[in-house]
Chains A and B, each alone.
Chain A
Amino acid sequence: TQLLEQSPQFLSIQEGENLTVYCNSSSVFSSLQWYRQEPGEGPVLLVTVVTGGEVKKLKRLTFQFGDARKDSSLHITAAQPGDTGLYLCAGESGTSYGKLTFGQGTILTVHP
């Protein structure tokens, strides 16, 4: 069974601070996706990383895929209250086609 361990589970910070969320596994993933979910809504896709060592930037968000494609990180610079939400990493392996394995999520709260 493939597992994705996401940390921290909860993050409460002040506006303007930086933060990093980690997603780790002992398994290799062919791709890894990051989603953001707000209460009562479905997850919204932020980014997909597919190449080991890949770094993608989306405004103040930086996503990195580990060289061995077993881990990923999401770094937010100068967090804003609008960044508040549940952040989820999800990996797709080459062995269980079509299935995304999700981490447990990180609940981020950014206080003004």
Chain B
Amino acid sequence: EAGVTQSPTHLIKTRGQQATLRCSPISGHTSVYWYQQALGLGLQFLLWYDEGEERNRGNFPPRFSGRQFPNYSSELNVNALELEDSALYLCASSLSPILEQYFGPGTRLTVT
């Protein structure tokens, strides 16, 4: 069974630009989660999507947004990029919100 996949693996952007990150969950999983892992800050919860709806949001500004498509894949969009947005962005999926979350390999975003 294929795991969670994310693309691209690496993304380099300049300050002020927009970044789009993509995630495909494990087949059959309907919940998708996004986390930011910045150096020295650990994993911080960003967003949770389930059945196409945003269900929960972490303490991040509105320029972090996303969506979930009918096939349960998801996009994370980061607008007006700032240097401190440089981090590993991890996507996870679960069969239901109360079950374990399985992570993808992440997208390394570098903002210069």
Q: Which of A10-18, A61-69, A72-80, A98-106 contacts B (4 or more CB under 8 A)?
A: A98-106
Interface of B is mostly: strand
Name 5 A/B residue pairs within 8 A (Cβ), A-sorted.
Answer: A40-B106, A42-B104, A44-B103, A45-B101, A98-B33
Chain A residues whose CB sits within 8 angstroms of the CB of B62 once the complex forms = none
Chain B residues whose CB sits within 8 angstroms of the CB of A43 once the complex forms = 43, 90, 103
B55 touches A98 (CB 8 A): yes
Interface size on A, residues (CB 8 A): 23
- A98-B50, A100-B45, A104-B42 known; A42 vs B4 contact (CB < 8 Å): yes
From A41, A99, A103, B56 is in contact (CB under 8 Å) with: A99
Within 8 A of A (CB), among B55-112: 55-56, 58, 90, 92, 97-98, 100-106, 108
Interface size on B, residues (CB 8 A): 25
**Which residues of B are interface residues toward A (Cβ below 8 A)?**
4, 31, 33, 35, 42-45, 48, 50, 55-56, 58, 90, 92, 97-98, 100-106, 108
User: Nearest CB to that of B43 among chain A residues?
Assistant: A102
B103 touches A42 (CB 8 A): yes
From B31, B90, B104, A98 is in contact (CB under 8 Å) with: B31
